[in-house]
Amino acid sequence: MPLGLADDVSLRMYRDKQFAYDRRNHELYELDSASFSLLQELRDLSLEELRQEQITFLNECLDVRILSLTDTTSRVFQNIEFAIDDAPLYLLLHITERCNLTCGHCYLGPKSKTELTIAQIGRVIEEFQGLAGLTVLISGGEPLLHPDFWVINDLVDNSKLRFELLTNGTLIDGMSANRLRFHEVQISIDGWRSSHDALRGIGSFDRSMAAIESLLDVGHHVSIATMITRHNTNDIEEFHKLETFCFSHGITNWSVNAPCEKGDWVDNKEAAVAEAAKTVAIVARFGYGEGQHDLGLKHACGGNLCTVMADGSVVGCVLSTVNPFGSLEDGLAKSWHKRTPFLLKDTECATCEHLTLCRGGCRISALETTGSLQGKDLVQCSAIMYYYETIKARKGGGDL
């Protein structure tokens, strides 16, 4: 039968559930046992052997590009990966602390030339793939400043994992955009021109926006990350402009985040948000896209994420670097098993009626706003309530 798994699709098994994973689009399609078996056995079947409901299912797989037409029958459905019961689904690598910008709101704080070696990066990615993880996120500092960045870039073609690049975008031009192999590139845009430049330096907005255009021109999936600051909350039109840009340019995800007092934020009160109410209104109104896949693990924020810092320390989240639970010397799996996971059932959010929508918010924000990692993320709580009150008052429509 001239059908095969699409090039970016693999079959996965997680905790007695079956999936087809499209790493290009970061889509997990849950399958029942019969459908999963059919995809495994498809190369040995003829059209005449299929029932009508099976044909209908295969057509649906073609429509969403789980399957593709192929001229060869030798393509084996061997991409079946079994996740270890307790393993991270996402791996964030801060490959370098080098950066070409001096952003006043950087959560990493003072920079150095500390960076992971290409050998360390290769080993940890290989171990993560062995654990049947989903996505590797490459960050910094500015990751393009790593001396072996383009070697790392070439790893993408030889992996079954999804790779996302987190960058300020100022070093990306048409040539480098065409060379990038990542499945998605996230660019930081913190407000419109003057607000963004106030944080990141004059001219950085135009360079970052030019990078987005170059990436889109060659077919990359692009997402945008925006931090709420004093500079971009003075005029709500800043966020309306960004929203219009995101929709008109087909931006995959737009994340809008409230700050935590980490790194340079601590000493840079000029960038801090003037009014909490403005933060709540913006969090409730702007941004779109999906978060991380949870697969029924019921973890609080970061429960499926493992982060490796540039010095080789292993933590859960970049905002919780004070007490690392492991190091690359220990190995990824061993380090991961040392952590203390936060389950939603153990937080104050466990009985909240909005838990499915909110997922408990950010644990570090909960610590800052309530003094407890098990507490409520009061910014997120307020944003949820603001959202519902606004919807009720305006009967489902209207702008802020």
Domains of the chain: 3-82 (no CATH), 90-343 (3.20.20.70)
How far, in whole angstroms, is CA 175 from its chain's centroid? 25
Query: Are 133 and 87 contacting, i.e. CB atoms less than 8 angstroms apart?
Result: yes
How far is 220 from 162, CA to CA, in rounded Å? 13
Q: According to the model, what pLDDT value does residue 251 have? A: 96
Q: According to the model, what pLDDT value does residue 176 have? A: 97
Query: Residue 296: which region, alpha, beta or left (left: phi > 0; alpha: psi -120 to 50)?
Result: left
Q: According to the model, what pLDDT value does residue 141 have? A: 92
Averages of pLDDT over each 10 residues, the chain, 400 residues: 81 84 91 92 81 93 89 52 73 95 76 92 94 92 97 91 96 97 96 90 96 98 92 86 96 87 62 68 84 63 85 83 85 89 82 80 79 83 80 56
Q: According to the model, what pLDDT value does residue 293 have? A: 62
Query: Are 348 and 381 contacting, i.e. CB atoms less than 8 angstroms apart?
Result: no
φ, ψ (nearest 5 deg) of residue 96: -155, 155
> What angle, 0 to 180 degrees and rounded to 10, lies between the N-to-C axes of helices 378-394 and 363-370?
100
What is the amino acid identity at position 104? G
Q: According to the model, what pLDDT value does residue 266 have? A: 58
Cα dist. 253→26, 166, 291, 292 in Å? 12, 13, 9, 12
φ, ψ (nearest 5 deg) of residue 227: -100, 135
Q: Which two tokens stand for residue 374?
A: 């098990």
φ, ψ (nearest 5 deg) of residue 58: -65, -35
